[in-house]
Structure 1
Amino acid sequence: MSKLNIKAFVFDAYGTLFDVHSVIEKCNEFFPDKGEEISQVWRKKQLEYSFLRQLMGTYTTFFTITKDALHYAAKQAGVDLTEGKEKELLEAYLELDHYEEVGSVLQELKPYKKAIFSNGSLDMLSPLVEQSSFGHLLDEVLTVDEVKQFKPTPMSYQLVLEKLGVRREEVLFMSSNPWDIAGATNFGFYTAWINRQDKVMDELGVKPHFEYRNLTGILEHMS
């Protein structure tokens, strides 16, 4: 592949910049020995519900979906989710740990446009970014809530072009989620799959242009 002319580095949030399973500690605090199970099911249903609501045409914010997914996870684990515990667990999603290399990578990319593009709504993303150490290094925090189309629909990715004023071939999009990489590649972005857990790529007829174990690999695309 010839040298890319990347003008915007665009990052998914959950699983790419922030560790969604850092809520396990809080889950274990309330439900001893069931934290990992609840966290895994919570994340799985969070994604499933966004896909299903997109298909059903019943869009709602990612915060509502996250709450609904938590209720499901608690029921499946057979635990009592009180109003107080629900509130604290949802607040834990606003304080997720970020991966250790994120700040230094964003600092290196300072000359470029840098944005988060997430299925998360601003009521979730804004507090999360503000409590991080790298919020000031981002130019935009973009959410599908503006178009009410969840990724991986083509219409959702169009928002990036409109907001950042770039062409598809000028975007390098990063995500740890294979379905998100498939959607972004299909849309026409250059894509870098941040495969932190050594997963297998989904069989959807498209492959990422690049694959790295963490975000440091994307620095090779600085011109």
Structure 2
Amino acid sequence: MESRPPIVSTRRQLLTLVAVAASPGPLFGHPPRRIRAIAFDGFVLFSPQTIVKRAREVAGEKGDALVSAASGMLFGYTWYYTSARKYAGFDELAEDAFKSAAQSLGLNLSNTDLEQLVEGYSNLELWPDVPGALQTLRRHNVRLAMLSNLSERALMSNLRTNGVDEHFEFVLSTDAARQYKPSPKAYDLAVRAFKISKSEIGFAASASWDASGATWFGFPSIWVNRNGLPAEQAHAVPTVISSGMDGVLRLSGLQTL
């Protein structure tokens, strides 16, 4: 009997998000007939390496452990608040996560340290394959939006700093829904913005759980699996799985070569 790949823990998945981009891998899945728009999770486009660098600056050799612990806590906080039908902004939850993570590691971070870490989410760099893919999508009249748990301020800062803001029709933060993904209210922000059927809106996720949430909502979805993680078995299967933006082009029905 063929063995299944191990289920990767949430903490490990989040830790791998801070790694350098994985080597190109195969594409899986087939696109639907017609995609008129794509909504992107933030980390499909932006590398979290800036946050790692800042953590190393303030925590030294414990920097990577700080990011790992804080990411796991932040991930849990967004789900905890959403399931309890409560809400606090992303920056507030990120600061709380870094505080708790620092305490668990015996680190004494100043208010300035915490501000620099949280501000890292507004100073992210593009993955190398992003600019060309965005240009191709817009050249073929595919409408684009951001749909992220990050604040609108952070999203706008990242888009403008990297010179790709002109490609995006909408910048949608889950602040507007006051619920984090994978809440259906969060994904519905894209339907309300584009004013087209959800079956015509592709969703590009950086995490397996986000691709599953979008799939359950009714979006054709892609998991941009930059770090080659195995899918968790309990999740819905996205339309396409790829290691980079080539999969987004495939989801859109465009040539990738």
TM above 0.5: yes
- Change in Cα spacing, 1:82 to 1:184, as seen in structure 2 (3 Å) is same
**Percentage of identical aligned residues:** 26
1:17 is aligned to 45
CA distance in 1, matches of 2:240, 2:32: 13
Is 1:8 the counterpart of 2:37? The answer is: yes
For the pair 1:208 / 2:238, whether they are aligned, the reply is: yes
Match of 1:184 among 199, 214, 217: 214
Equivalent residues in 2 for 1:159-198 (5 A)? 159-198=189-228
Structure 1: distance between partners of 2:31 and 2:39: 20
What residue identity is the alignment partner of 1:209? Answer: T
SS in 1 for 2:203: strand
TM-score, length-normalised on structure 2? 0.82
The equivalent of 2:23 in structure 1 is none
Q: Which runs of 5+ in 1 are unaligned?
A: none
Contact 1:21–1:40 under 8 Å retained in 2:
no
Match of 1:150 in 2: 180
Q: Cα offset for 1:52?
A: 0.3
Matches within 5 A, 1:65-104: 65-104=93-132
Unmatched runs of 5 consecutive residues or more in structure 2: 1-29
Whole-Å separation in 1 of the counterparts to 2:226 and 2:150 = 20
Q: Counterpart of 1:47?
A: 75
Relative to structure 2, which stretch is displaced further, 85-94 or 176-185? 85-94
TM-score (structure 1 length as normaliser): 0.94
The residue aligned with 2:18 is: none
Contact residue 171 and residue 189 of structure 1 kept, 8 A:
yes
Flag as ranges the 4+ runs of structure 1 deviating above 3 A.
Answer: none
Tell me if 1:109 matches 2:137.
yes
Segment of structure 1 superposing worse, 16-25 or 52-61: 16-25
Distance 1:211 1:155 in 2: 24
TM superposition shift of 1:3: 4.9
Question: Which gives a bigger RCO, structure 1 or 2 (Cα 8 Å, sep 6+)?
Answer: 2
Q: Equivalent residue for 1:130?
A: 160
Q: CA–CA distance in 2 between the matches of 1:82 and 1:143? A: 28
